[in-house]
A and B are shown apart, each in its own frame.
Chain A
Amino acid sequence: MIRLEGVDKRFGTLEVLRNINLEIARGEVVVVIGPSGSGKSTLLRVLNHLEDFDSGTIYLDGKPVFAYTENGRRVRDPESRIRGIRSRVGMVSQRFNLFPHLNALDNVACGPLHVLGSPRPAAEAKAQALLERVGLGEKIRAYPAQLSGGQQQRVAIARALAMDPEAMLFDEVTSALDPELVGEVLRVMKSLAADGMTMAVVTHEMGFAREVADRVVMMDHGEIIEVGTPAEFFDRPTQPRTQSFLQAVIRH
Chain B
Amino acid sequence: MGFQWGAIPGMLPILLHGLMITVLATIAIMAISMTIALPVAFGRMSRNPLFRIPATIYVQVLRGTPVLLQLFYLYYVLPFAGIRLDPWPAGVIGMSLAYSAYLSEVYRAGIEAVDRGQTEAALSIGMTRARIMRVVVLPQAFRIVIPPIGNIFVGLFKDTSLLSILTIREVMFEGQLLAATTFQHITIFTVIAILYLAVCWPSAAIVDRLERRLKRAPGDPHAVATRRRWALPFSAREARP
- Bound together, the chains give a CA A100 to CA B218 distance in angstroms of 7
Q: Counting CB contacts under 8 A, is B124 at the interface?
A: yes
- Bound together, the chains give a CA A100 to CA B114 distance in angstroms of 11
Across the interface, name the chain A residue whose C-beta is closest to B135: A114
**Which residues of the other chain, B, contact A101 by a CB distance below 8 angstroms?**
139-140, 143, 217-218
**Which residues of the other chain, B, contact A98 by a CB distance below 8 angstroms?**
121
Q: Quick one: CB contact mask for B115-153 with A, threshold 8 Å, 1 for yes?
A: 101101111111111010001100110010000000000
A60 to chain B, nearest CB (A): 14
Q: Counting CB contacts under 8 A, is A91 at the interface?
A: yes
Q: Counting CB contacts under 8 A, is A216 at the interface?
A: no
**Pair A146/B121 contact, Cβ less than 8 Å:** no
**Which residues of the other chain, A, contact B221 by a CB distance below 8 angstroms?**
145-146
**Pair A95/B136 contact, Cβ less than 8 Å:** no
**Which residues of the other chain, B, contact A48 by a CB distance below 8 angstroms?**
124
- Bound together, the chains give a CA A171 to CA B126 distance in angstroms of 18
Q: Counting CB contacts under 8 A, is B220 at the interface?
A: yes
**Pair A50/B124 contact, Cβ less than 8 Å:** yes
Q: Counting CB contacts under 8 A, is B10 at the interface?
A: no
Which B residues between 77 and 130 are near A, CB-CB below 8 angstroms?
Answer: 115, 117-118, 120-129
Which A residues between 59 and 93 are near B, CB-CB below 8 angstroms?
Answer: 79, 83-84, 86-87, 90-91, 93
A-B contact count (CB 8 A): 81
- Bound together, the chains give a CA A144 to CA B140 distance in angstroms of 14
**Which residues of the other chain, B, contact A100 by a CB distance below 8 angstroms?**
140, 217-218
- Bound together, the chains give a CA A83 to CA B130 distance in angstroms of 13
**Which residues of the other chain, A, contact B123 by a CB distance below 8 angstroms?**
50, 86
- Bound together, the chains give a CA A84 to CA B219 distance in angstroms of 34
- Bound together, the chains give a CA A156 to CA B216 distance in angstroms of 21
Q: Counting CB contacts under 8 A, is A30 at the interface?
A: no
- Contact of B219 (CB < 8 Å), options: A90, A99, A145, A159: A145
Task: Indicate the member of B115, B126, B143 with the most A CB atoms within 10 Å.
Answer: B126
Q: How large is the interface on B (under 10, 10 to 19, 20 to 34, 35 or more residues)?
A: 20 to 34
**Which residues of the other chain, B, contact A50 by a CB distance below 8 angstroms?**
120, 123-124
**Pair A110/B135 contact, Cβ less than 8 Å:** yes
**Pair B220/A145 contact, Cβ less than 8 Å:** yes
B214 to chain A, nearest CB (A): 11
Q: Quick one: CB contact mask for A33-64 with B, threshold 8 Å, 1 for yes?
A: 00000000000000010100000000000000
Q: Counting CB contacts under 8 A, is A222 at the interface?
A: no
B217 to chain A, nearest CB (A): 4
**Pair B220/A146 contact, Cβ less than 8 Å:** yes
- Bound together, the chains give a CA A91 to CA B120 distance in angstroms of 10
Across the interface, name the chain B residue whose C-beta is closest to A147: B219
B234 to chain A, nearest CB (A): 31
- Bound together, the chains give a CA A98 to CA B140 distance in angstroms of 12
**Which residues of the other chain, A, contact B122 by a CB distance below 8 angstroms?**
99, 110
- Bound together, the chains give a CA A86 to CA B117 distance in angstroms of 16
**Which residues of the other chain, A, contact B217 by a CB distance below 8 angstroms?**
100-101, 143-145
Q: Counting CB contacts under 8 A, is A142 at the interface?
A: yes
**Pair B219/A143 contact, Cβ less than 8 Å:** yes
**Pair A93/B121 contact, Cβ less than 8 Å:** yes
Q: Counting CB contacts under 8 A, is A111 at the interface?
A: yes
**Pair B124/A90 contact, Cβ less than 8 Å:** yes
- Contact of A97 (CB < 8 Å), options: B120, B131, B135, B218: B120
A46 to chain B, nearest CB (A): 12
**Which residues of the other chain, A, contact B143 by a CB distance below 8 angstroms?**
101
Q: Counting CB contacts under 8 A, is A163 at the interface?
A: yes
5 residue pairs, one from A and one from B, having the closest CB atoms: A87-B126, A143-B219, A97-B121, A145-B220, A91-B124
29 contacts between A and B (CB under 8 A): A50-B124, A84-B126, A86-B123, A87-B126, A95-B117, A97-B115, A97-B121, A99-B118, A99-B121, A99-B140, A101-B217, A103-B218, A110-B122, A110-B127, A111-B125, A111-B126, A111-B127, A114-B127, A114-B135, A115-B125, A115-B126, A142-B219, A143-B219, A143-B220, A144-B217, A145-B216, A145-B217, A146-B221, A159-B125
- Known contacts A79-B128, A159-B125; 11 additional CB pairs below 8 A are A83-B127, A86-B124, A97-B121, A100-B140, A101-B139, A101-B218, A103-B218, A111-B126, A115-B125, A145-B219, A163-B126
